[in-house]
Homo-oligomer: A and B are copies of this chain.
Amino acid sequence: MKQTARFFKSLADETRLRILALLLAEEKLCVCDLMAALELPQSTVSRHLAQLKNAGWVDDRREGVWVYYSLATSDIPSRGELQTLLARYLATEPVAIADRERLAGFGQGNRCA
């Protein structure tokens, strides 16, 4: 039960929702991508990513210098359904849309400096 509460708590923060919204759209992103899209300092982004990872929402994978985060492919069926719901919740959110546009803003393919 506590775990279920923790699970929902991981969604109870605007920054984390914005990150999930971006990952629902982008497949994989590194921390510096997210910093730029969210316009938030690195420590803040990193901390929220750690929480999402801890809650089982994202996986991380190091590729050279950078660490890419992506939505976890859960074997829990209801988790996938919740992702669908979440995507619907977030689809029309102005903040999330602005984040995506900012992400697209710095050119296709030449992210991460």
Interface size class of A (residues with CB under 8 A): 20 to 34
- Choose the segment among A41-49, A67-75, A89-97, A103-111 that binds chain B (4+ C-beta atoms closer than 8 Å): A89-97
Q: Is A30 an interface residue (CB 8 A)?
A: no
Smallest CB separation, A111 vs chain B (Å): 23
Q: Which residues of B sit under 8 angstroms from A4, Cβ to Cβ?
A: 14, 17, 89-90, 93
Q: Which residues of B sit under 8 angstroms from A85, Cβ to Cβ?
A: 78, 81-82, 85
For the complex, give the distance between the alpha carbons of A18 and B5 in Å: 10
Which residues A1-45 have CB closer than 8 A to chain B? 1-2, 4-6, 8-9, 11-14, 17-18
Question: A88 with B93: in contact, given A13-B5, A17-B4 (CB under 8 Å)?
Answer: no
